[in-house]
Structures are given as structure tokens and as C-alpha cells.
Structure 1
Amino acid sequence: QLLPAQCCFIDCQLYEFHYINENKNWTEAQQYCREKHTDLATVTNMKDMKRLINISAGYNTAAWIGLYDQTNGTRTWFWSLPELEFNESETNWNPGEPSDKGIQGSENCGAVYQDLTWLDDGCQKTKYFLCYDDNVILINQNKTWEDALTYCRENHHDLVTITNMDDQRWIQEKVKKASTDYVWTGLHYACTLDLWFWVSDEMVIYKNWAEGEPMDDCDMSGAMETKRDHQWFKRNDSDLLNFICSKE
């Protein structure tokens, strides 16, 4: 008898993982995740891995993640999430993996063991799997900072807050698809108080300002550059830019 799907919610995160204890092949798992969440889980750094430990605790079988090989003759791995590039330097293969045992090219889908190392396996096999929810969205509309704030609060939750390097890395993947050179964030300068603050009331502790930024000026807010190093710049509130909303 299958247990109900297990979910784990982590407050104030830009993405959440969900451990689904239903046996599905990789394609079925991907379809399930895309219908009920965002996609099969992308695991791109050790902090992601550690978050998975708490979710999959107590289960000793490997679970599908959003890792696959397109089987075009060369062993090239991809994430299920289309806009995220696979980075070879961030792999966490179990020793001896990817093994691709049996018929050449038959183990083309990726899973994660309880110890968070990866394996490749036949995509037709059934396993439990890991989905995730993306809690941020890029809005490809050009708005002033205040109009962007209003849009996010009326349609989603708020303009995005970036509190650490993991948040920064997640957002900078999103901004690559923007149509403007910068995107608005929820970072704003309070002229009367002479301080920068997040509209979510978070303290500005983590910073990724470009060199020389920010010279404090009234009517300014924080934006991330969509190219180069994705650093933060102050922009005039009246500039018309794409923006990132948080969903919850």
C-alpha cells in the first residue's frame, strides 16, 4: 500500500523540494512534477543536497531527480528544467557512476541515493522521486519600480528578496531570460532613513553590489544586471524594467 505523498515546506526559500513516495518511471515522474509542482528536482549545490536529507529521511531507495542524457551518441547530461544549464563542476556522482551498465546508452536517467550521491539508471525503471516548486517568476513586462511592486503584490506575493548566495544563484538563472539589461528586485532606498531595505522587511545582510554601488540617492531601487556577473545596481525608480516576483 502506497503512503500518501510526502511534502516538505521550507519557509522563506525561493524553491521547495517535495519527496513523492509513489513508484513511477522517469518520464511519468517528470509529468507528475510538471503538473503538480514545477519540475523534477534540480540539485545544483551541496546546500540543495543537505535540504534533501531532511525530506527523504527514512527512505533507503534511490529517487529520480531531473537529470537525464539525451542519448544522441555522446554522454551529455541535462537538467529537466529547460533554462538551467548542467554544470559538470557541480556533479555528485557516486563512485563508479555514471556506470551505464548493460546495453550501451541504456541508463539515461539520474537518481539520488539516500547519501545524496547520484546514479544513472534505466529510465523505464520505477522509483520514488523528488519534485520542486519554484517560488519566483520573471515578469517580462517593462514597469517602473513602484508599478512592478504593485503588480507582484496584486498577482503573486511581492518583489523578490535575495538573502544569500543560493538565492542570488537561483535568481540570476531567471534573469538571463529578461528582455531588459536589468531587472527590478525588492531592494529600495529609503531617503528619509538613509538606508537600503527589502520590501519584505528583511535586513540587507547579503550584498552583491557592483563596484562603486550604491551611491545613496533618493528615488532609487535595486536591480540585477541580466548579463555579465549579475551584480546589483541602483536604478532610478522611473526606469522601465522587467522584474522578479516571489510567489509566496
Structure 2
Amino acid sequence: MKYSLFILFMFTFMVSQLYEFHYINEAKNWTEAQQYCREKHTDLVTVTNMKDMKRLINISAGYQSEAWIGLYYQTDGTRKWHWSQSEVKFNESETNWNTNEPNDATGVQNCGIIWKNLKWGDLSCNDHRYFLCYDDELILIKENKTWEDALYYCRDHHHDLVTITNMEDQISVQQEAQFASTDHVWMGLHYAWSLDLWFWVSDEVVRYKNWASNEPMDDCDMSGAMETGGKHKWRKKRDSEKFNFICSK
């Protein structure tokens, strides 16, 4: 996957296949930052693994201090850290807190920030800081179509059927897939019987794989679909079957 770095007016953003990170150098409190991100982008940034955090450092050249991320400490009686992106569960094993953080130093530090060294901290949600937004570059289409019809739909209305090249992509796609109305969703993965190989319609080489056990079985008129539940494994399905599907924008 290739990344490009751009500077555009008041913010910097990095392009990936499935989402973009945006650094906003306007000082806002956490709630205002969340509202801004939801109105102009998708949400405040969710950081689910170290690769996400390493990517964030590439867009941090414009700030020297902490910036808001989509992390908050719920104070309605069930005190627990949550992500602003509600469908993503906070995982204690995937945190990167700075030493002695979170410390709730003033008793009201209920919102999360990230420093340029990728460490996290907590501050009062009323403090004014720069912040990080992201744009989701995926869209789940809740229409049941054959693989070929799904491919043409994505190319006519968006960009293409989704390509998955690494674990980060897999996580992003399965977060969308869980909201589908079918038990599988089509991806841009197709089997070329005459060449005896699986390929992505985006021309990406199939390196990362998440096939279920005993898959794939090479046969003609087959394409790849992801399970919408469980471990979100890939399954080979007849092109004529009809599922929801995920497009890249």
C-alpha cells in the first residue's frame, strides 16, 4: 500500500486505500473536536494498533504538543474508556499510555490525547487542543447483488470493490461488514480459472490472506466473500450468489 503526504490549507492528511488521517490545527475542546470531525470527516481518530499510531506520526509535523484522539472516559456510572467510533471496542491490550498515564490528575481528565512520540495521555475534555480526524474510505452497500453486478455498481458509483492487502485493511473492512444484512459480503477478490490464480480487481497481488480452513477450492466462476460475523474469514462463493458488498471510495 502506498501513502502520500499532502499539506492542504489548515490541515495535513495522509492517504491510504481505506481511510485518511487529518491533522486539524484549530484549538477546540474534545466535544467541539468530535463535532467538527463528524461534520466534515467521519470521526475523531480511532487507534486500534501500533501500525495506526506509526502512521499518525507521519502527519504530525505541524504540531509540537498533544492532539485529541477519539478516546473518552465515560462518566455516567460505568467508568470505562471508549472510542468515539462506537462500533469499535476499546481493547486494554492495545493501548499505548505514557508512563503514569492515565492519571486523572485534576479529577476531570476524561478525554484522550496523543503526543508526537505516539504515547497517550488524558486531559480535561474542556481543554483546547489541536486534533486528529479520519475519513472512512469504505462504504457498505446493503443491496443483494451477484459479484459481477456488485463490481459494476462500485465502479459506477464509487471506486471499486474493496481490496484487502494487510491486517489493517482486514480490520477496517470487517468493521463495516458486521453491519451487513447478509451472512457474507463481496470483496474485489476473483478467481481466474484459465490462469489458476486468485487476484484483486485493483491489480494488487494477493499476499495477505484470511481464508477459512479448507479454502480456497479453485473452480471457475468463483469470487471471494468475507463472513460478516465470527472471525470474518474469507470464503469462496459462486459469482451468481447475491450478497451485500463493500466498495472503496
State the one-letter code of the partner of 1:49: M
Give the aligned partner of residue 60 of structure 1: 64
Q: Does 1:7 align with 2:12?
A: yes
Q: Does 1:70 align with 2:74?
A: yes
Picking from 80, 87, 91, the partner of 1:87 is 91
Partners of 2:156 and 2:62 in 1: how far apart? 40
Task: Check whether the contact 2:146–2:242 (CA below 8 A) recurs between aligned residues.
Answer: yes
Q: Secondary structure at the match of 1:172?
A: helix
Partners of 1:123 and 1:9 in 2: how far apart? 26
CA displacement at 1:65 relative to structure 2 = 0.4
Q: CA RMSD in A?
A: 1.4
- Structure 2 matches for 1:168-183, cutoff 5 A? 168-183=170-185
Give the aligned partner of residue 5 of structure 2: none
Q: Secondary structure at the match of 2:90?
A: coil
TM-score between the two structures when normalised by the length of structure 1: 0.94
Partners of 1:222 and 1:4 in 2: how far apart? 40
Partners of 1:235 and 1:71 in 2: how far apart? 46
Give the aligned partner of residue 53 of structure 2: 49
- Structure 2 matches for 1:140-219, cutoff 5 A? 140-219=142-221
Task: Check whether the contact 2:14–2:59 (CA below 8 A) recurs between aligned residues.
Answer: no
Partners of 1:243 and 1:85 in 2: how far apart? 23
CA displacement at 1:58 relative to structure 2 = 5.0
Give the aligned partner of residue 233 of structure 1: 235
Partners of 2:79 and 2:99 in 1: how far apart? 17
CA displacement at 1:169 relative to structure 2 = 1.4
**Structure 1 residues without counterparts, runs of 5 or longer:** none
Task: Check whether the contact 1:4–1:21 (CA below 8 A) recurs between aligned residues.
Answer: no
CA deviations on 1:151-202 (whole Å, 9 max, x unpaired) are 1111111000000111111111211111111110000111222211101011
Partners of 1:98 and 1:75 in 2: how far apart? 13
TM-score between the two structures when normalised by the length of structure 2: 0.93
